[in-house]
């Protein structure tokens, strides 16, 4: 088919996916000066009076649902428009992988990755629910993960908007295996269908496979009647019993037995304290770049092909924290919780990007408002600042201070040479290096002497 040169104000720069109903384009916003994704549908379909959940219904519904929200873990929609015979939605364009692709390569993610992803997902769902929007199709294919580890929720095409009377949007739509029991039987639904789906997702990442598998009929029977084996009781590599009660509650058959909100689900997971060792990697899977580019989807109504990236907010942070800053936080906390302070602070730092967010997460482990106030006051008295890679004023002449950009690029380069262990090696080098030159030298020591090391040094210098 012939593709347009422009849709609305957006010049088309490429085709991302194409199908019978429309096309997903890569385009450029000339006003804001940024790339965008343009999801299109044939205009005559938008005007059709179809019963049931038509593509046109979903298209309009997605624009209305996402337009109500602004959250760093939800792909934003910039504009709904019509041009000639095409209706379109302009949305954020980012390069990333769907969680389904990540899980296809690594069915059982490291626990730290699971907690990061769930923390972001549940925060996004809490935002959506507070705006009266229920996604109703949470699954790995509708979740994008950037190379920085940021999760993005996509495809609100069958979302339920609480204030609307969507007579054409029945409750019996969704993806088998992720649909809650009430969706299968056509009962009224609320935001807790998303809690159920998030529980299914959590179980799948913990165990390495979905709790409900088989034909659509078999899946429906299992969702309605079976209780999945607890993650701590699986035969191979069982997970900590901490998760058993959480997944059981999230996937409860009756909505009233589930977490009452995504926020409460998130709080339950936040209580998990991971064991910390010096060699522990922050993120070895979700931040690893794909080894080969996947072919674009032929379905333009699966925006997961193009979504993700580009937000300034990330949730990756052990690497980049000033060790002295963390030590001061640990010292302030130790007077309240004792030796476990180091573990709690290191765990909280993985989900924090600055000192206020770190302090807020640490405060969750204090039992009273008075203790939280005293901890905050004590932390302020230390003069602690959330510095990431501070420039060293005493650098020798000719040496250059480390920057966040260089650290990020070096991680990518080292990963391509040495694999997932790169995250650990970068963290160790950061703790010792006071300049770019020293940082590169420390990283290069991990390669065999000779041509291999020289090749790595050149790649690190190029970035």
- Give me the active site residues, please: 137
Distance between CA 261 and CA 369 in Å, rounded? 23
35, 22 contact by CB (below 8 A): no
Distance between CA 216 and CA 218 in Å, rounded? 6
Distance between CA 88 and CA 449 in Å, rounded? 55
Distance between CA 344 and CA 18 in Å, rounded? 48
Say how many C-beta atoms besides its own lie within 10 A of residue 25's C-beta. Answer: 27
Distance between CA 138 and CA 131 in Å, rounded? 17
What single-letter DSSP state applies at residue 335? Answer: H
Q: Taking the CA atoms of the chain, what radius of gyration do you get in angstroms?
A: 24
Q: Which two tokens stand for residue 29?
A: 């916003």
47, 57 contact by CB (below 8 A): no
Q: Is 286 strand, coil or helix?
A: coil
Q: Specify the DSSP element, H or E, that contains 123.
A: helix 111-130
Distance between CA 392 and CA 371 in Å, rounded? 35
**Phi and psi at residue 428, in whole multiples of 5°?**
-65, -40
DSSP assignment of 143-182 = EEE-TT--EEE---TTPEETTS--TTS-SS-S-TTTS-HH
Give the list of residues 6+ apart from residue 385 with CB closer than 8 angstroms, or none.
325, 355
């Amino acid at each position: 088919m012939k593709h347009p040169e422009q849709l609305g104000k957006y010049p088309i720069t490429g085709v991302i996916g194409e199908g019978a109903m429309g096309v997903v384009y890569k385009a450029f916003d000339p006003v804001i000066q940024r790339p965008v994704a343009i999801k299109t549908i044939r205009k005559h379909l938008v005007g059709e009076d179809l019963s049931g959940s038509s593509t046109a219904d979903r298209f309009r519904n997605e624009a209305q649902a996402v337009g109500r929200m602004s959250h760093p873990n939800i792909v934003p929609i910039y504009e709904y428009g019509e041009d000639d015979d095409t209706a379109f939605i302009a949305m954020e364009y980012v390069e990333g992988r769907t969680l389904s692709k990540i899980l296809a390569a690594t069915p059982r993610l490291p626990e730290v990755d699971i907690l990061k992803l769930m923390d972001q997902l549940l925060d996004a769902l809490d935002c959506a629910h507070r705006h009266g929007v229920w996604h109703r199709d949470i699954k790995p294919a509708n979740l994008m993960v950037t190379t920085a580890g940021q999760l993005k929720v996509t495809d609100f095409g069958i979302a339920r908007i609480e204030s609307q009377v969507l007579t054409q949007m029945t409750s019996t739509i969704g993806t088998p295996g992720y649909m809650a029991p009430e969706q299968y039987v056509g009962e009224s639904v609320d935001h807790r269908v998303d809690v159920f789906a998030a529980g299914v997702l959590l179980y799948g990442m913990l165990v390495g496979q979905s709790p409900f598998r088989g034909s659509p009929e078999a899946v429906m029977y299992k969702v309605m009647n079976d209780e999945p084996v607890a993650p701590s009781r699986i035969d191979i590599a069982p997970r900590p019993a901490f998760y058993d009660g959480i997944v059981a509650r999230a996937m409860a058959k009756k909505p009233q037995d589930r977490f009452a909100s995504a926020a409460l689900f998130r709080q339950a997971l936040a209580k998990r304290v991971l064991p910390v060792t010096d060699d522990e990697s922050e993120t070895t899977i979700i931040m690893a770049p794909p080894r080969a580019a996947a072919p674009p989807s032929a379905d333009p109504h699966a925006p997961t092909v193009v979504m993700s990236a580009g937000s300034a907010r990330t949730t990756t942070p052990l690497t980049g924290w000033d060790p002295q800053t963390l030590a001061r936080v640990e010292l302030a906390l130790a007077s309240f919780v004792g030796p476990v302070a180091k573990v709690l602070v290191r765990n909280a730092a993985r989900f924090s990007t600055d000192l206020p967010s770190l302090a807020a997460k640490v405060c969750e482990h204090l039992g009273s408002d008075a203790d939280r106030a005293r901890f905050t006051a004590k932390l302020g008295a230390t003069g602690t600042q959330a510095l990431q890679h501070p420039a060293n004023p005493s650098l020798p002449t000719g040496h250059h201070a480390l920057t966040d950009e260089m650290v990020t690029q070096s991680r990518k380069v080292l990963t391509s040479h040495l694999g997932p262990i790169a995250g650990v090696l970068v963290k160790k080098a950061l703790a010792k290096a006071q300049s770019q030159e020293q940082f590169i030298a420390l990283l290069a020591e991990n390669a065999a002497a000779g041509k291999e090391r020289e090749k790595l040094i050149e790649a690190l210098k190029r970035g």
